[in-house]
Structure 1
Amino acid sequence: MTRLLFVHAHPDDETLATGVAILHHVERGDDVHVLTCTLGEEGEVIPSGLAHLEGAEGDPLAEHRRGELAGAVDALGVTSHLLGATAHGGHTAYRDSGMVGSAAFAHPRAFAGAELAEVAALVRSTIEEIDPDVVVTYDPQGGYGHPDHIRVHEAVRAALAQMPSAPMLFVTLTPRSWVGEDRVWLASHLPAGSPYAVPSPTDPIAPSVVDDALVTHAVIDPSVVGRQQEALRSHATQVVVGDGWFALSNDVASRLSGREGYAVMDPSTGEVLPGGAAGSAAGGDIARPGLLGARL
């Protein structure tokens, strides 16, 4: 049995960014944990009936999204942890920072503004408590540049770099060819008259989309998409779930393809390691299907 820890910034990130790998490993019988670093206080609320939570005094959205996270991790079948919750009455130590330049970004508890050493120490404490074989988080750009995602990446790397016997670090990356395939699929599968936009082949792509050769490992398991959709429905303030696709508050559809790309990273240097180095680091076992996927 392998123990894996997925580290994310906000509720819903665990299912959106790494839900396929999480469910794949749960179904293999592995011990899977999710560490969430904020409660997503700055999330944009989609349902009109819950719009009063967004930006309200006292951050009621935080408590609501904590409940959504509980539903999602229950559907995923994983153990959930909140960063610094023991010392903060069950809440996270930090607050959702919003985007750069927003009022939330200047909040005294903003996650992105916290001292990196302080955040890394909390992350390291959780890693040592769980003692995983593998830690998984965002790429250096945080998927799409969110400052909280970037801070998670930085803190995880700093924590692991300080550990004498650190677990292997995987970061999320998407092969460029998959994006083109997914956009074609969306164009042919969204219902006629759908209010959700389908990205065109020439629309911008996220920073985490890279040349296929840079993605050294993949989890490809379409059988888990139904359970991923179930988990996403728990995050009702943030996500609209369709049949094989989802949309966020920007009303742009994205495919739930049942596949995710990863690469092994050296936490000290930030260098993406070739497949051979990854296999060596795990006693040659990383190539077996299921342990964050076979090599591409």
Structure 2
Amino acid sequence: MSRLLFVHAHPDDETLATGVAILHHVAAGDDVHVLTCTLGEEGEVIPADLAHLEGAEGDPLADHRRGELAGAVSVLGVTHHFLGADREGDRPTYRDSGMVGSLAFENPRAFAGAEFIEVAEAMRVAIDGIAPDVVVTYDSEGGYGHPDHIRVHDAVRGALAENPSAPTLFVALTPRSWVAEDRAWLAEHVPANSGYAVPASNDPVAPSVVEDDLVTHHVVDPSVVEDQQDALRAHATQVVVFDGWYALSNDIAARLAGREGYARLDPTTGDLVPGDGRVRTGLSGART
């Protein structure tokens, strides 16, 4: 049995970005943990009856999303932690930063604006306390460029760098060929009158989409998609879930394909660890 830690910026990231790997390794009997760094106070609320939570004084969306996260964690079957949580309110030290240039980014508690050394040390304490064999997080661009995601990546690297006994570090990456396959699938399965856009084959891709040979580890397990959908439904303010696909507040359809890609990262240099031409299955036993 391996102990895996998935480190994420906001509630819902755990299920959206790494839900397949989490559920796969839970089913395999591994000890799986999730560390969340903020409560997603700047999330865009989708349901009209909850719209009053968005941007409201006192951050009521934070407590609501904490409840959503608890529901998702229950489905995923993981042990959950908040970064720097106090003992009374179980609230993270840091707040969702929003995007660069927003008012949220200037908040004194903004995660991306906090002193890096402070955040990296908090991350080191959290990782040491959990003592995982494997740590999983975003690539250097945070998947799609969100400053909190980038801060998570950098803080995890800072916590693990120059430590020869550090756990193996993985970052989530998507093979370019998978994107093409997923867009073709969406074009066939998302109803034309659904109100949701389907990305065209030539639309831009996220920074985490890379050439196939850079993705050295695959977690392919379609059997977990139903549970991943249930976990996403817990995040009702942020995600609308359909059969095999979902949409965020941007109303763009995305596939739930039951597969995720990863590659090892050297935390000291920030470089991907080259593969040997073989694609590995799963993330446990990664030291070998």
TM-score band by shorter chain is over 0.9
- Unpaired runs of at least 5, structure 1: 280-285
Q: In 1, distance between residues paired with 2:119 and 2:218?
A: 29
Show the 5 A alignment for 1:1-296. 1-86=1-86, 89-276=89-276, 287=280, 289-291=281-283
1:105–1:88 Cα change, 3 Å: farther
Query: What RMSD over aligned residues (CA atoms) do the two structures have, in Å?
Result: 1.7
8 Å CA contact retained: 2:218, 2:282:
no
* Residues 191-200 or 67-76, more deviating: 191-200
Residue-pair matches, total? 286
Residue type at the aligned position of 1:17: A
Residue type at the aligned position of 1:45: V
8 Å CA contact retained: 1:225, 1:258:
yes
Q: In 1, distance between residues paired with 2:28 and 2:90?
A: 30
Q: In 1, distance between residues paired with 2:88 and 2:95?
A: 12
For residues 244-283 of structure 1, what are the alpha-carbon distances to aligned partners after superposition, in whole Å with 9 as ceiling and x for unaligned? 0010000000000000010000000001002359x9xxxx
Q: In 1, distance between residues paired with 2:66 and 2:93?
A: 14
Q: Percent identity?
A: 74
Q: Tell me the CA shift for residue 192 of structure 1.
A: 3.8
Q: Tell me the CA shift for residue 87 of structure 1.
A: 5.4
For residues 72-98 of structure 1, what are the alpha-carbon distances to aligned partners after superposition, in whole Å with 9 as ceiling and x for unaligned? 010000000001113573100000000
Q: In 2, distance between residues paired with 1:88 and 1:101?
A: 32
8 Å CA contact retained: 1:217, 1:292:
no
* Secondary structure of the structure 2 residue equivalent to 1:188: helix
* Secondary structure of the structure 1 residue equivalent to 2:139: coil
TM-score (normalizing by structure 1): 0.93
Q: In 2, distance between residues paired with 1:110 and 1:192?
A: 40
1:211–1:292 Cα change, 3 Å: farther
* Residues 161-170 or 103-112, more deviating: 161-170
1:88–1:116 Cα change, 3 Å: farther
Q: In 1, distance between residues paired with 2:46 and 2:285?
A: 34
